[in-house]
Structure 1
Amino acid sequence: MESQNVVYRKLQEHMDHMPVGFPVSRSGLDIEILRELFTEKEAEIAIELSMLPESLDRIYPRLKKLGYTKDEAGSILDTMSGKGLIAAGRLLSSNTNNKLYSSAPFAVGIFELQQSILKQNVSKKILDYSLETFKDEFFKKDTPVQMRTIPIGKSVKRENYTATYEDMRQIISNTKGPIVLLNCVCREAHDLTGQPCRTSELRETCIALKNIALSCIDMGKGRIVSKDEVMELLDKFDDAGFVLQPENNENPHFICSCCGDCCGVLTMAKKFPVPAEYYSSNYYAVVDKDLCTGCSTCAGRCRMDAITIEDNIAVVDTGRCIGCGLCTSKCPSEAVTLYNKEKIKIPAKSHGELYKNILRNKIGTFGFIKVAAKYMLGMKV
């Protein structure tokens, strides 16, 4: 048992060095989660993987020390990929002639890869760990967050030019390759723990694009949908009261449609007294007092508890508002409008640039250069 504890602790420390880490939990939930997901053998192998993609040829010298043949190592890595424990294949590269493998972060990563295979025991532990510990790793001031909010587009005051990356429909129109619609893993976790979503019975609410869509197809997850169907779903999600949260770059690989009951990102954010300080959003809601009737439709749709009704007028707490636009799209008197923030946050150009920025903020420029040099020399990073 002691040797197992050592292996899982080493894996936790290894995962914690990634751009978005996996910090120690005071309650021990970090190790309990790893035990639920990884066998001891899989944990030993995962420790030998890098945060950056590598071929089996490059990885194998490290795995050979564990006593595996090259064929055995490749087979185990493929099995671990199928279990959502590591990143591999078209998740990392569309080049199928040179399969790559890497460590996967806890989230966005391993947790999301448990979609459709998540177990009840680990679900409760993951939900508890997220609110107890992981929220402070996911949300850090002055560090890019992995996801952002984009309003549907209704009732947005176009004070400035609205860039393509702020237009969800334009993002869908411009995306190349298949689009895959998946069940939400957060709602799956809540269903498994007897806490079903109170917002909606919809479960197919996560949209995979680009390499993530290709990987989902390879793994037999979700279903391929057309752009026209996605456009219709955006309206359906707005009707249901879902916050749209794409990956935080100009060309996102995924779009989550989130409720305030189940979404890990929203429930973690709500734990902070001023969530707007941590969130990546370029909008805030403003209520026209002359038009507001105090009907409380906006307050009921707000997923951040940012709106209250005072003297029959809706009042927005801008410290809690994340600019999602749910309050504006169904206001019967059109009293709520989204305005651009004074300081606009421009997302990273790509998936790779986003995580480079997160890592650079975490370990500094010198540490970032050191990681890049080790990787170029073929070393584990």
Structure 2
Amino acid sequence: MKTKGMMIQQLAEHLGYADSEYLSKLLDHLLTEEEATLMTNLPDTPKNLTLKLDLDEEYVNCRLRDLFMRGLVLIDSHVAGEPIYLVDNNAGRFMDMILFDPRYQEEDEDFYSLWRDFFNNELVYAPRSPEKLPFRIIPVDENIEDHRTILPYEQVSEIIKNAKRIAVQNCPCRTREQRCSAPLETCISLNETAEYMITRNIGREIIYSEALHILKSAEEFGLVHETDNTDNPTIICNCCSCCCVFLRAITVFQQEDVIARSRFFAQFDKEKCILCFRCLARCLFKSITFVEGQILIDSSKCYGCGLCSTTCKGGAISMVLKENALSIPHKGDEFMQGFTNIP
């Protein structure tokens, strides 16, 4: 018979971090022995688990539903009307599904310290494929030189407009890191992902106009828009460089190829520049410098977020489509693809 420690080790290994002392401590804190038993026997349906573990069916259903509501398990699909529960194998998404939930704000500092240690010492170094990056930067809608060049699924206002259902929830990254005063309620989920967030009571349903207001406020605060790197976005994050997964990896850990750049770059017209220097403060990627009396933009460091262009008093910066802009992958690799099913 497996001990709780053995089951925690099995779950940590399933998430790809068998040797992580941080993740093991978190799992041990989050789960009872009975819950660990259920999770290490997934994926499966409640009925099958009832037979396999010789447990009461109502008890199994209630425990799995509770684990789902706490973000510890997901639902893969349904068979004959029964949900097939599973444990995510993506450690980053597993972390977010927990930290999206306001109930964990009641936890003490040790809880968040463990999540910070797990991310900053282990998860941030997870191998990534440059050919299959999960998220991408979206340019701010304003100051795009030719709007005919922007696609509906890389324009935040159009992404929101085309959504059938919208919800907003707290940013899991700023909840974890707690390093700045940026607003928390800024993560916008769409369609089935919105329904998942609302079902778990971690997302607040909003309408188009409020979503636009949240996005505009995020831009004014200097947050960068990010979304799934597909033509079927399911979530829009508004990210700071000190807390958020991908921007922190770039700006603090000097990592490259962690997030896809937008298909636009900042084009600078020195004749219009009045040296207001606002762009220097706005650029999170340090692609803008002031050298020998003039502003310079290093296009190799520009991620195409557009924040510099929106506060340029002289109108010297516009966003232009790159000559060899890569196409955006077709739907199928969304952040929550296949995991937004509800009981």
Deviation of the 1:222 alpha carbon: 3.2
Deviation of the 1:272 alpha carbon: 4.7
Deviation of the 1:331 alpha carbon: 0.9
Tell me the TM-score normalized by structure 2.
0.84
Q: How does 1:366-381 map to 2 (within 5 A)?
A: none
1:101 to 66, 72, 85: 85
Q: Deviations 1:211-246 (Å, cap 9, x if unpaired)?
A: 221122222223221112212322222111111111
1:134–1:274 distance in 2 versus 1, CA, 3 Å: closer
- In structure 2, the partner of 1:320 is 301
Deviation of the 1:140 alpha carbon: 1.7
Q: How does 1:262-273 map to 2 (within 5 A)?
A: 262-273=243-254
Q: Residues of 2 paired with 1:95 and 1:173: CA distance? A: 33
Report whether the alignment pairs 1:181 with 2:181. Answer: no
Q: Residues of 2 paired with 1:239 and 1:67: CA distance? A: 57
User: Does structure 1 conserve the Cα–Cα contact (< 8 Å) formed by 2:266 and 2:318?
Assistant: yes
Runs of 4+ in structure 1 off by over 6 angstroms are 93-96
1:48 to 34, 41, 47: 41
1:130–1:190 distance in 2 versus 1, CA, 3 Å: closer
- In structure 2, the partner of 1:14 is 14
SS in 2 for 1:153: coil
Q: Deviations 1:245-269 (Å, cap 9, x if unpaired)?
A: 1122222221111122222221123
Tell me the TM-score normalized by structure 1.
0.76
1:15–1:308 distance in 2 versus 1, CA, 3 Å: same
Single out whichever of 65-74 and 219-228 deviates more from structure 2.
65-74
User: Does structure 1 conserve the Cα–Cα contact (< 8 Å) formed by 2:139 and 2:304?
Assistant: yes
SS in 2 for 1:180: strand
1:343–1:56 distance in 2 versus 1, CA, 3 Å: farther
Q: Residues of 2 paired with 1:56 and 1:249: CA distance? A: 33
Q: Residues of 1 paired with 2:171 and 2:254: CA distance? A: 27
- In structure 2, the partner of 1:73 is 60
Q: Residues of 2 paired with 1:271 and 1:257: CA distance? A: 18
Report whether the alignment pairs 1:124 with 2:108. Answer: no
User: Does structure 2 conserve the Cα–Cα contact (< 8 Å) formed by 1:241 and 1:326?
Assistant: yes
Q: Residues of 1 paired with 2:206 and 2:151: CA distance? A: 26
SS in 2 for 1:212: helix
Q: Deviations 1:316-352 (Å, cap 9, x if unpaired)?
A: 33343221111111111122222333443333333x4
Report whether the alignment pairs 1:278 with 2:278. Answer: no
Report whether the alignment pairs 1:304 with 2:285. Answer: yes
What is the root-mean-square deviation in Å for CA atoms of aligned residues? 3.0
Q: Residues of 2 paired with 1:81 and 1:48: CA distance? A: 15
User: Does structure 2 conserve the Cα–Cα contact (< 8 Å) formed by 1:325 and 1:338?
Assistant: yes
Report whether the alignment pairs 1:149 with 2:130. Answer: no
Q: How does 1:139-288 map to 2 (within 5 A)?
A: 140-158=128-146, 161-176=149-164, 178-191=165-178, 195=179, 197-198=180-181, 200=182, 202-273=183-254, 275=256, 277-281=257-261, 282-288=263-269
Query: Identity of counterpart residues, as a percentage?
Result: 24
1:111–1:274 distance in 2 versus 1, CA, 3 Å: closer
Q: Residues of 2 paired with 1:306 and 1:97: CA distance? A: 53
Count of aligned pairs between the two proteins: 330
Deviation of the 1:13 alpha carbon: 1.4
